[in-house]
Amino acid sequence: MEHDMQAFAAEVRRFLDAHVAKAPDRTAVTWGEGDDSMAYFSSLAPEEEREQVQRAREWQRIRYENGFGWITGPPEYGGRGLTPVHELLYDAIESEYDVADTGTLSVIGLGMIGPTILAHAPQPLKDHWLPAMYRGDAIACQLFSEPGAGSDLASVTTRAVRDGEDWVLNGQKVWTSVAQHSQIGLALTRTNPDAPKHRGITAFLVPMDTPGVEVRPLRQMTGGADFNEVFLTDVRIPDDHRLGEVDGGWTVALTTLMNERATVGSQGAGPVAGALSADRLSALMRATWTWDDRALRGRLAELLVDVLATEHLNARALRKLQAGVAPGPEMSVSKLLYGQNLTKAAHFVSDVLGPRAIADTGQWGTYAWNELLLATPALRILGGTEEIMKNILAERVLGLPKEPVTTAAKEGRQ
């Protein structure tokens, strides 16, 4: 196994070397030079964003044509038929290269919805959509969350009512990433309000150009709009777009959630890499004459320990992957820590800046940190709140018992 993984790693490097350059070191800094952006969420103008999506599609097509578009997928749909460990290894190696950011396609669509379609969709849907998605032609979004159902997804209320061979969907979805670019969405709907809440849900694949589907950008506290609200008004979906059994959609949803990808080695990407760089942070302390502040130095050391130890955690996970061993909890832990580290960095820098964080003096590399600061509350919520993540660690890794279902919750189902 270890030999195979090394051969695979070498093949990956040959492919990447032939197509792209190595990523530049984004942690080095010459104070006052270059872009001082610290944006976590994209703050691109719409036309720039469309260009970025186009670059992502092109890179995905190149991957697909070279056998890296769907590493775990079955060959009949253009997949490679390898293990999740191969895929994680590919991702880790690719993060060393300067490739287009394919998050728009891959995080939700290819990582979560593709495997769900594969597991639960009728054959014609698989034949049509799977190659289209993994070739970079179709983007998919996840129509799961609702204003009244955040982490408790089983309480969705968007209704689907049968009408002959069709279903009619009505309701509102929220926090939908990439809906504005998507061709299809996987929707969870309530088809049986009388059944216990996990048992009355049905999943549908919704072509986003179906009449009655309306995507509206949702403006966040950063000022940008990375997410959308999706309104479904009398949306007619044929029954052959149903995934899984009627009222059996919870199983489908679990497939999607289980495929939520872990992220190894992704920490170096984007402008925020500088937020966790010793060079950048110490240069900031010099520029603000806080170099000698003992209390701030202590906090800097603690912050860098979190950052560097998280890198060690990732490095060890990567070495396990290369040896063909599935990593343990370190990947979930690393994911949790990534948001926490960025949050600590943003608040540390605010304290270094002091009043300079309140209003823009025009000094390079100072006020720009607010872009990160204002994104940090979202980092504790996205992709499962910190609380949900901790429940998962405690229950799956430490074997702690689940919260018992209370009488009140049972009554709520009636």
Q: Quick check: 301 binds other proteins (CB under 8 A)?
A: yes
Q: Which of residues 291 and 364 has its CB atom nearest to other proteins in the complex? A: 291
Residue list 322-341, contact with other proteins (CB under 8 A): 323, 329-330, 333, 336-337
How many chain residues bind other proteins (CB under 8 A)?
39
List 398, 407, 411, 414, residue binding other proteins (CB under 8 A): 398
User: CB of residue 88 vs other proteins: minimum separation in angstroms?
Assistant: 17
Q: Quick check: 316 binds other proteins (CB under 8 A)?
A: yes
Q: Quick check: 23 binds other proteins (CB under 8 A)?
A: no
List 1, 305, 358, 409, residue binding other proteins (CB under 8 A): 305
Q: Quick check: 313 binds other proteins (CB under 8 A)?
A: yes
Q: Which position among 260, 371, 395, 411 bears the catalytic label?
A: 260
Q: Quick check: 92 binds other proteins (CB under 8 A)?
A: no
Q: Quick check: 403 binds other proteins (CB under 8 A)?
A: yes
Q: Which of residues 308 and 409 has its CB atom nearest to other proteins in the complex? A: 308
Q: Quick check: 401 binds other proteins (CB under 8 A)?
A: yes
User: CB of residue 22 vs other proteins: minimum separation in angstroms?
Assistant: 19
Mapping DSSP onto H, E and C, the string for the chain reads CHHHHHHHHHHHHHHHHHHCCECCCCCCCCCCCCCCCCCCCCCCCHHHHHHHHHHHHHHHHHHHHCCCCCCCCCHHHCCCCCCHHHHHHHHHHHCCECCCCCHHHHHHHHHHHHHHHHHHCCHHHHHHHHHHHHCCCCCEEEECCECCECCCHHHCCCEEEEECCEEEEEEEECCCCCHHHCCEEEEEEECCCCCCCCCCEEEEEEECCCCCEEEEEECCCCCCCCEEEEEEEEEEEEHHHEECCCCEHHHHHHHHHHCCCCCCCCCCCCHHHHHHCHHHHHHHHHHCCCCCCHHHHHHHHHHHHHHHHHHHHHHHHHHHHHCCCCCCCHHHHHHHHHHHHHHHHHHHHHHHHHHHHCCCCCCCCCHHHHHHHCCHHHHCCCCCCHHHHHHHHHHHHCCCCCCCCCHHHHHHHC
Give the residues across from 160 on adjacent strands: 169
Residue list 268-297, contact with other proteins (CB under 8 A): 278, 282, 294, 297
Q: Which of residues 20 and 296 has its CB atom nearest to other proteins in the complex? A: 296
User: CB of residue 387 vs other proteins: minimum separation in angstroms?
Assistant: 7
Residue list 172-211, contact with other proteins (CB under 8 A): none
User: CB of residue 299 vs other proteins: minimum separation in angstroms?
Assistant: 9
List 32, 34, 298, 354, residue binding other proteins (CB under 8 A): 298
260 classed as catalytic:
yes
Q: Interface residues with other proteins (CB under 8 A)?
A: 278, 282, 294, 297-298, 300-302, 304-306, 308-310, 312-313, 315-316, 323, 329-330, 333, 336-337, 387, 389-391, 393-395, 397-404
**Which residues are catalytic, by number?**
260
